[in-house]
A and B are shown apart, each in its own frame.
Chain A
Amino acid sequence: MRLTCPLCGERDLREFTYRGAALARPEGEAWGDDWHDYIHLRDNPAGESREYWAHSTGCAAVLLVTRDTRTHEVLGSALAKGGGA
């Protein structure tokens, strides 16, 4: 599996760190079901998955990657501006 950083090009998987499912962050700071959903619950898709990856040993950009979890095929990647989701 190789990932493409929009700033650096296609790079080895070892340069990247998975940062979790790309989900919308809840408004407000009070604990409730919305935060529970955001932090704990997952669709956990077998198929197309939208997720954040950090180009941690490269340019440090955070990417929004679309990937097939059944095959590891990378379907697209872009800079995760403004939180993605």
Chain B
Amino acid sequence: MRFSGLRVLKEGLTGNRGWGPHWRDPAPKPAYDIVIIGGGGHGLATAFYLAKEHGLRNVAVLEKGYLGGGNVGRNTTIVRANYFLPGNSEFYSHSLKLWEGLEQELNYNVMHSQRGLINLFHSDGQRDAAARRGNAMINQGDDAELLDREGVRRLLPYLDYDQGRFPIYGGLYHRRGGTARHDAVAWGFARGASDRGVDLIQNCEVTGIDVEGGQVTGVQTSRGAIRARKVAIVTAGRSGQVAAMAGMRLPIESHILQAFVTEGLKPVLDNVVTFGMGHFYISQSDKGGLVFGGDLDMYPSYAQRGNLPTAEHVMEAGMALMPMIGKARVLRSWGGIMDMTPDGSPIIDRTDIGGLYLDCGWCYGGFKAVPGSGYALAHLLATDRPHDSATGFRLDRFRDGVGLMDEEGTGAQHNLH
């Protein structure tokens, strides 16, 4: 089933009776070449690129719940490539290029909207840091513009330019940054993978990882044993529990990050705005809701909900920056389980167990990485070599201290990012 304007018109005129399910619902086979644990954005993208780029179709994605029911359905949908450090920079640059062709590639409307992202700064020192970051982005081949205060005012006239605590000095403008429809990204990759022969198996919880003589041989699941030559753990906040099934401990703590959305409003926010000093960022969904969030609650949690002090802090920061949103009513808030690494950067790597691979540690930035991560992990699974865009995401960088990627410069320890 291909989507097209003509098809939408035809279905609209004939009662929408011609639409079918977007993916197959197969029973698990006894064995696959590759099993991917986790049917979220990263797992589904990996399956898609395995089939499309490498012709590997004897692949299963095992999902404990339903496809896209984890963090890919719980995030604030921001897509950007404004990283500074080598290792991260080329990866997110590559991922953004994949985003820019994604809708055509998937024949699926993921509502990718490059509406521009502005990181505000509030001091001379921060301006220097923003200029340096912008230069790094330009050197990587991406876009960045340094806006002064009046430049920001032209774009975002509704900010409070009189506040004294964090006066707005300007912003780093990343025009190709923006948002996308998060669920559609999962659905588009799922459909693309399923169409190419990948089995997407829902309600299938992995309960054990079989290892014989240092080599992975398959997984135990709630729907029976499945043999596999290669197994990839792509389970975000639950990575610790899944890796423990193979006797591994990971450099990951799972923390809670809250997000909020208001009632639908007429268009008021054209871009994505981040207010790092206040721990606040915001955009407006196409449906009209203001989607915003702040920093972690800063303690480990699997509750998928946070506590009120952080909610209060986020609201205060929002009001300090843009008082106009004060009368909007918050419809709902929720929390996601963030797989935080010590240096704040992710892991796509082999493990000490043959045939067992890891894709985790996306911290609070996994959504924008979905295509890049899937592409890189598929390349690693297919060739046993890291993709050029992801050579820095080694698991052993913490053990030997070489190649740590600490974007914030706060140190490679837990609870600092």
A binds B: yes
Residues of A within 8 A of B (CB): 1, 12-14, 17-21, 33, 36-37, 39-46, 49, 51, 69-72
Q: Is the CB of A44 within 8 A of B253?
A: yes
Chain A nearest CB, measured from B401 CB (Å):
8
Q: A18-B299, A46-B302, A49-B300 are in contact. Are A40 and B342 (CB under 8 A)?
A: yes
Q: Which B-chain residue is minimally distant from A14 (CB atoms)? A: B309
Size of the chain B interface, CB-CB below 8 angstroms: 25
Q: A20-B415, A40-B342, A40-B398 are in contact. Are A69 and B251 (CB under 8 A)?
A: no
Candidates B250, B301, B398, B414; contact of A72 at CB < 8 Å: B301
Which among A19, A33, A39 has the greatest number of chain B C-beta atoms within 10 A? A39
- One digit per residue, 1 when the CB lies within 8 angstroms of any chain A CB and 0 when it does not, for chain B 385-403 equals 0000000000000110000
* Chain A neighbourhood of B300, CB < 8 A: 18, 21, 44, 49, 51, 69
A interface majority secondary structure: mixed
* Chain B neighbourhood of A20, CB < 8 A: 414-415
Q: Is the CB of A42 within 8 A of B252?
A: yes
Q: Is the CB of B303 within 8 A of A70?
A: yes
Q: Which B-chain residue is minimally distant from A31 (CB atoms)? A: B401
B240 CB within 8 Å of chain A: yes
* Chain A neighbourhood of B299, CB < 8 A: 18, 51
* Chain B neighbourhood of A40, CB < 8 A: 251, 342, 398-399, 412, 414
Chain B nearest CB, measured from A81 CB (Å):
22
Taking CB atoms and an 8 Å cut-off, the chain B residues in 280-316 that contact chain A are 298-303, 307, 309
Q: Is the CB of B309 within 8 A of A41?
A: no
* Chain B neighbourhood of A12, CB < 8 A: 309
* Chain B neighbourhood of A72, CB < 8 A: 301, 303, 307
A17 vs B240: C-alpha distance in the bound complex, in angstroms?
A: 23
A13 vs B306: C-alpha distance in the bound complex, in angstroms?
A: 12
B194 CB within 8 Å of chain A: no
Beyond the given pairs A13-B307, A37-B249, 12 more chain A to chain B contacts, judged by CB atoms under 8 angstroms and listed by A's residue number, are A14-B309, A18-B300, A33-B399, A39-B398, A41-B250, A42-B249, A42-B252, A42-B414, A49-B300, A69-B303, A72-B301, A72-B307
Candidates A19, A39, A41, A70; contact of B249 at CB < 8 Å: A41
Q: A18-B298, A39-B413 are in contact. Are A44 and B303 (CB under 8 A)?
A: no
B71 CB within 8 Å of chain A: no
Q: Is the CB of B249 within 8 A of A46?
A: no
Q: A69-B300, A70-B302 are in contact. Are A43 and B307 (CB under 8 A)?
A: no
